[in-house]
Amino acid sequence: MRSPRGLLAISGYLDGRHAPAASLSNAGHHSFFFARAFQILAQPEPVRLQELSAPDSGILELRLERPEVKNAINWDVLRRLRSAIEKVQTDSMAKVVLVASSVPGAFCAGADLKALPIPTIAVIEGAALGGGLELALSCDLRICGENAELGMPETGLAIIPGAGGTQRLPRIVGSSRAKELIFTGRRCDAAEAVMMGLANYCVPAGEAYQKALDIAREITQKGPLGIRMAKKAINQGMEVAAMSSALAVEGECYEQLLHTQDRLEGLAAFAEKRKPVYTGK
C-alpha cells in the first residue's frame, strides 16, 4: 500500500503541480490532498478491454470511457489504446473486436486499429467527427445508430485529417466523395453514410451494439484462420496497383490455409452435414 507521501506525490503529479512539502502541518490542507489523491486513484480507466463470456467467447470489447470530454484522445488514452491493441494481437483466441463507447452521444477520437489481424467493428452512436471518424475508418466494418453524425471538420481549423483520414476515406467512398467531405467539412447522418458506403448498416438509435454483436457472432462461427487470411488478402491486395500483384497476394494467403486442421475439419463437416468445430490450427 502506498504511503501518504506517495499519495501526495501522485496527486501533485497528475494535477500538474509539484507535490506539497512533507513539512506542511495544516491538517485541512493535508485532508484536501489526501481526498484528491484517492479521487484520482478511483477514477475509471479511460480504455477498457474485456472478453465476452460464453457463448460469445472470442469476441472482445474495446470501450472508451471518458465521459467528461466525450472520449477525446490524449497521450494517456493513446498509450492505453496501443497497449490494448498489443494484447489483442497476442491473444490467439481472439476472433472479433467490437470498438464501442460507453459515453452516450459520442463515439471517440483517434487511434489506429488497422494492424489487428482479426475483424474490427466500430459501433457508432452519436458523433464520430474528426479523429473519431478516423478511428472508425481504421475498423473493418462500421455499424451506425440512426442518430450517428459523421464528418471531417479539420479544414475549418486550417488543418487536414492527420490520422489516416485523407487516405482511408477515399479508399472507402472514392476520391471525389472524400474530397467533397474533407474540403467542406460537412457532416452526414447514418443513412447517407450507408448510401455512400461509409457505413455498413444504419439501425435504430441505441441498437448499433446489438447489430455489431450479431455480426460478430456470425464471424466467430467461421474458420478463424480463414478470417485472418481473408483480412490480410483484402488489405494487402488493396495496397498494390496491379491486379496481378493483388491476385498473387490472394494466392499466397490461400496457400497458407491448404494444410491446416481447420480446412480438413471444414471439408469433413460439409461431407458429414454437420456444424464444423474449428480450433484455429
Interacting residues of 117 by C-beta distance below 8 A, sequence separation 6+: 89, 228, 231, 232
Q: Which of 106, 130, 154, 163 is catalytic?
A: 154
Of 141, 135, 134, 127, which is closest to residue 160 (Cα–Cα)?
A: 134
Q: Verify whether residue 154 is a known catalytic residue.
A: yes
Letter for the amino acid at 264? L
- Helix%, strand%, coil% for the chain, nearest 5: 45, 15, 40
Q: Which of 37, 94, 106, 111 is catalytic?
A: 111
Which residue is associated with the grid cell 460439409? Answer: 270
Q: Which of 58, 131, 145, 164 is catalytic?
A: 131
Helices 175-184 and 165-173: crossing angle, nearest 10°?
130
Q: Verify whether residue 111 is a known catalytic residue.
A: yes
Give dist(CA 261, CA 259) in Å, integer.
Answer: 7
- Cβ neighbours of 134 (radius 10 Å): 26
| Range 21-31 burial, b when 16+ CB lie within 10 A, else e | eeeeeeeeeee
Cell of 145: 445508430
- Cβ neighbours of 231 (radius 10 Å): 18
| Range 213-230 burial, b when 16+ CB lie within 10 A, else e | bebbbebbebbbbbbbbb
Q: Which of 132, 134, 151, 165 is catalytic?
A: 134
Give dist(CA 276, CA 144) in Å, integer.
Answer: 32
| Catalytic positions | 111, 131, 134, 154
